[in-house]
Structure 1
Amino acid sequence: MDLNLLIVDDDQTFGEILKRSLTRRGYQVSLAANSFAALQSLEQHIFTYAVVDLKIGSESGLDVVRELLARQSDMRIVVLTGYSSIATAVQAIKAGAHNYLCKPADADEVLAAFGESESEPIPIASQPHSVDRLAWEHIQKVLCAHQGNISATARALGMHRRTLQRKLNKRPVKQ
């Protein structure tokens, strides 16, 4: 079985740690800091797997997912993000990603997301989301519905644009 894996992430420290951990597990890992480097790696290697950050500098990881799959349709891709929401998870899956994980994710979680882990599946939480988390999810859903337009989203939510920007700059609240 071919164990070639591509990591596309602009966070060099995180990428190196994940690369080292996956290499110890027998994977041949290439690291790319942007879409250009990822596509160049794809010209030199055939990858079975890819781990793509949702936001790579000013680039969208979803565009990278689409590009990778356009060039190699059988690649299994996991999207990672530090700013998770249901809306972005749905977008990632629609773009062709196999799974979606929140950062920080370790090698075991990544392999489990690919379905390559021996561990048991992660059970669904029995506790409902907090009100703050539900508000974050709603904001993300409305933002997606307005194609990322912050002014239109603020109008739709009935809040000032600067207030919305402050909320978006914060990390999402935990479950």
Structure 2
Amino acid sequence: MADAALEIGSDPNLLLLDDDEPFLRRLSRAMEKRGFAPKEAGSVAEGLAAVKSNPPAYAVVDLRLEDGNGLEVVEALREARPEARIVVLTGYGAIATAVAAVKIGATDYLSKPADANDVTAALLAKKDDLPPPPENPMSADRVRWEHIQRVYELCDRNVSETARRLNMHRRTLQRILAKRSPR
């Protein structure tokens, strides 16, 4: 990724907005190695303050944060700096949220887990570049398992509530949760 530094341009400022601190620190270090100048923010309020004080040329914004929705920061950055390259990153990927993010100005939308190479490629992609297909796409079983895990976490690890939301028998859900994740 040595040539990435050449493509970044004259303003390497990058806003990283995520409430997952370990992930945020890892991504910040990785993006710094790739030539960016990252500024970390852990909440919508911190993100809006960073945009107001010094609108960055690049941003990676988590969709769901404890104090609100990351799309607020995307809108604020788009108003402050229309040419900014913004990637929305989320563990709760859905077509509706991807469309909403792109409509309000996000350059790209990535589902977690995404590594620094994915983020860099999305930030530096040309407008007419299509993303390459994934080398190792998730199996249907893995996608199903990931969805169940997300709903389970959204329900504060309550098996009965998760089963109700997934329209699944409670015992069936318990068996799925007891197994290892599929590949």
Range of TM-score over shorter length: 0.5 to 0.7
Once the two structures are superposed, what CA deviation does each residue of 1:99-138 show, in whole Å capped at 9, x if it has no partner?
0001121111001112359xx942268x9x849969x99x
**Where does 1:5-154 land on structure 2 (aligned, <5 Å)?**
5-116=14-125, 121-123=131-133, 130=140
Gapped regions of structure 1 (runs ≥ 5): 138-159, 168-172
Structure 2: state its 5+ residue gaps.
1-9, 148-160, 169-180
Measure, in 2, the Cα distance between the counterparts of 1:101 and 1:2: 23
Higher Rg of the two aligned structures: 2
Distance across 2 between alignment mates of 1:115 and 1:26? 12
Q: Distance in 2 between matches of 1:15 and 1:70?
A: 25
Identical aligned residues as a percent: 38
Match of residue 145 from structure 1 = none
Residues 19 and 132 of structure 1: CA distance in aligned 2, closer, same or farther (over 3 Å) = closer
Between the aligned partners of 1:83 and 1:123, the Cα distance in structure 2 is 20
Q: Deviations over 1:50-79 (max 9, x none)?
A: 000010114111222112212222211100
Structural RMSD (CA)? 3.5
1:99 partner amino acid? D
Structure 1's consecutive aligned runs of 4 or more residues displaced over 3 angstroms after TM superposition are: 129-134
User: How many matched pairs?
Assistant: 145
* TM-score, normalised by the number of residues in structure 1: 0.68
Q: Tell me how far apart the structure 2 counterparts of residues 78 and 93 of structure 1 sit (CA, whole Å).
A: 9
